[in-house]
Amino acid sequence: MLDALTLRVAFAVAALTLLLLFFFVTFRGTRSRYSLWWCIALALFLTGSSAYLLDGTEHQVWANPLGNVLLVAGAVGVWSGARSLRRAPARAWWLAAAPLVTLVASVLDHPATNDWSGGPVFLASMSLLIGLSSRELLLLDPGYSRVRWPLVAVSGALSVYYALRLIAFVTVGPRAPLFTTWFGTEVTTLVTMVLLVVVSFGMAGLSGEQLARDLTTRATRSSEELAQAAEVQRSLLPQSSPAVPGYEISGAVVPSRGVSGDFFDWQRTDDGLALTVADVMGKGLGAAMIAATTRAAVRGTLPHRGTAEAVGTLSSVLSEDLTSTQAFVTLFHARLCVARSELTVTDAGHGLGVILRADGSDELMSSQHLPLGVVPDQEWRTRTYRLGVGDLVLVFSDGVLDLFDGSLDSLRQAADLATRTSPTAAGAVGSVTALASRVSLDDDVTVVAIRRTA
């Protein structure tokens, strides 16, 4: 048989090789907690085995206890890695308890002359920790991975082997032929080295499985958070149409990605209604956050001022935030005066409004300004439109254009669609959003309608 020194060197070389392979291939590829713990365990097994090479020298007095402690700490790493598969926490005192007890037992057992110092505590700790690792694998969900069953068998067998070593050590002693033949350093090193190689490849499979499950969990959590954000955003939109004498008012948003960078808002004023439609550059959660900030600013600055003054104030309030996020916002802001039947508009780069007259003609409400966030200081101007009985005002976001051919002619096509079924404000909004709900959207779709009825 090979002597103990040769086998320990071979074990150290095998542990080093596995450590390098596992770190540079498995851990760097998966970044899973399990693979990290296994790398730590391999490093501890390597250094612990190397410490035993000093047995029989003057350094044995510290090297032998150190080897015991490092190997037990490596077994702690194996157990902690197995617990990480279940996302079970490992408390610091749990991790330190077995190595500390092993250290005390080894130091008190004459390590200068006894190369088996602290032997019973060392063997008991190894058997217990490896057995606990096997138990952790058994506690995983039945469908976790088929790889775990060979690992359960191997780790369970190794735990039993160390338990038998402990029994033999206590009953006959480490120098007895029974112990040296079946449980001596040579046999144990060879068995452990073979099992270490076999187990490492199984560990790689479990690391990949842990990564896949972590990604699935994150995706599920992200989907849930996105759904919650969408629900909050929907609750911030107007929940009912305002009662304005002589007018019907309706609006809706169809987001392309759960949350939207579009929003509309209306508020009653002393003379009628303040209406805002805005579209933040981009899509998804980032655009939705900027939209929420813009809506809050709209609520605070627009209702009680003229449209030009209000948009100017809003531009100043949002300028720093839009510049820092490199975003811009197109905005349509209007005041409806019921007594004069007039709609006064200031348009910041939106330009997607149209008035469908009761006589069948139409009038586009083009923009005279750049979007908010492009040029900090603009001279904001207004346009006033007089509304007759039966006139319908439609304001869209640019996502509506994508429902057709994407050109500005799509604005008239959208207006035709809106009035094809019903001339009412709610019917116009419903026709457009029904089409948006049936197709795959690349951009958010918003539509607001105002119709004079009397």
SS3 362: strand
Task: Find, among 336, 172, 327, the residue nearest to 269 by Cα.
Answer: 336
CB 33 within 8 A of CB 84: yes
Non-local (6+) Cβ contacts of 426 within 8 A are 241, 248, 250, 449
Q: Is the pLDDT of residue 141 over 80?
A: no
Determine the pLDDT at residue 1. Answer: 47
Mind listing the pLDDT tens digit for each residue in 240-260?
888 999 999 999 988 877 667
CA angle, residues 183, 188, 191, in degrees to nearest 5: 125
Residue-level length of the chain? 454
Share of residues in the chain with pLDDT > 90 (%) = 34
For all residues of the chain together, what is the average pLDDT? 83
The stretch 127-144 carries a mean pLDDT of 86
Determine the pLDDT at residue 120. Answer: 95
The stretch 361-389 carries a mean pLDDT of 89
In DSSP notation, 218-243 reads HHHHHHHHHHHHHHHHHHHS--S---
Q: Is the pLDDT of residue 273 over 60?
A: yes
Dihedral-angle region of residue 286 (phi above 0 means left; psi in -120 to 50 means alpha; beta otherwise):
alpha
CA 372 from chain centre, in angstroms, equals 31
Determine the pLDDT at residue 203. Answer: 61
What DSSP state is assigned to residue 54?
A: G
- Cβ–Cβ contacts within 10 Å for residue 221, how many? 10
Ordered strands of the 247-254 beta sheet:
247-254, 445-452, 392-396, 353-356, 362-365
Q: Higher model confidence: residue 227 or residue 444?
A: 444
Domains in the chain with CATH codes: 4-223 (1.20.1070), 240-452 (3.60.40.10)
The stretch 398-422 carries a mean pLDDT of 85
The stretch 43-56 carries a mean pLDDT of 85
Mind listing the pLDDT tens digit for each residue in 182-237?
887 777 776 777 666 666 656 666 666 666 666 666 655 656 655 565 565 566 67
